[in-house]
Amino acid sequence: MGQDAALIDRFLEMMAAQAGAARNTLSAYRSDLSLASQALDGGLVDADAARLARLGDGWRALSRSTVARKAAALRRFYAFLADEGLRADDPGAALPRPGAQRALPKTLSHADVDRLFTTIAERLSAKHSLSSDLRLSALFELLYGSGLRATELVSLPRAAVQPDRPFLILRGKGDRERLVPISDRARAAVAEWRGHVAADRLFLFPSGRTHLSRVRLYQLVKALAADAGVPPDRVSPHVLRHAFATHLLEGGADLRALQSMLGHADIATTEIYTHVDSSRLVALVNERHPLVDAPLRRA
């Protein structure tokens, strides 16, 4: 697998430098390419179309989204080899192309969100509230109030949120910068929590020598959901991000503005929320269309 490993490394270096791929994307590509190399007995670089077709056949038991991800990683790898002159052909066309069927994102109702924040408020109003409750309040205000990704949230610098600045500038997926509005209550929650973070700490949510991990954030969200009476299997940091987007759209937010706030490179990714909110859109047409009150003319 020596040749495979070396060229996988070169490919990932290119993806990071030229395509600006995020760390999680690079990790997923490395995993998919390494597993494919193992399945091909170290012959990934030299595999022909027939071998790739057989490899794809072995993915039949996997979900549509997993197959699509694996095939996309391999196709980009072979395109890279061809561009670099390391292969005379590109056998990527032999890989499966499952239909692009994107599942609707899980979200939460307004009542669910109210229960989560009511539970946090009860903890903060208790006689012996803990600094960890202030941290939880700040985490949830930023997750639901600004739609941050888990990685973006846990790695925020200590001074990222300022009391006199109603926004923060994030560098998200693909190393792209975006402006994210911060509500007054989120800034207030962060200010209360930051008072418990030593001034020499680099991160707003420190843990050990670095910052709170995504796994720990996931655990905190699940634990709060259980205490609030919301089924924990329905709640995660990403579900709170989806709730932020869905509820903003319900409130009349512009799709382009929502795309900017979420940091989506392609508005097609943002448009999935129009499906989640389809009932509101139907009602909007029936109530606000200019012909709604006009009599129907019959022949």
Residues noted as catalytic: 149, 173, 238, 241, 264, 273
Which tokens belong to 199?
Answer: 């001034």
- The CA distance from 249 to 261, in Å, is 12
Question: Nearest 5°: phi and psi at 207?
Answer: -155, 115
- Residues facing residue 114 across a β-bridge: none
Containing H/E element for 170? strand 167-171
Residues with Cβ < 8 Å from 39, sequence gap 6 or more?
55, 58
Say if residues 98 and 53 touch (Cβ distance below 8 Å). Answer: no
155 CB-side CA count, 13 A: 10
Tell the burial category of 288 from Cβ atoms under 10 Å away from its Cβ (0-12, 13-18, 19+): exposed
CA-to-CA dists, residue 22 to 8, 18, 25, 97, 227, angstroms: 16, 12, 5, 24, 34
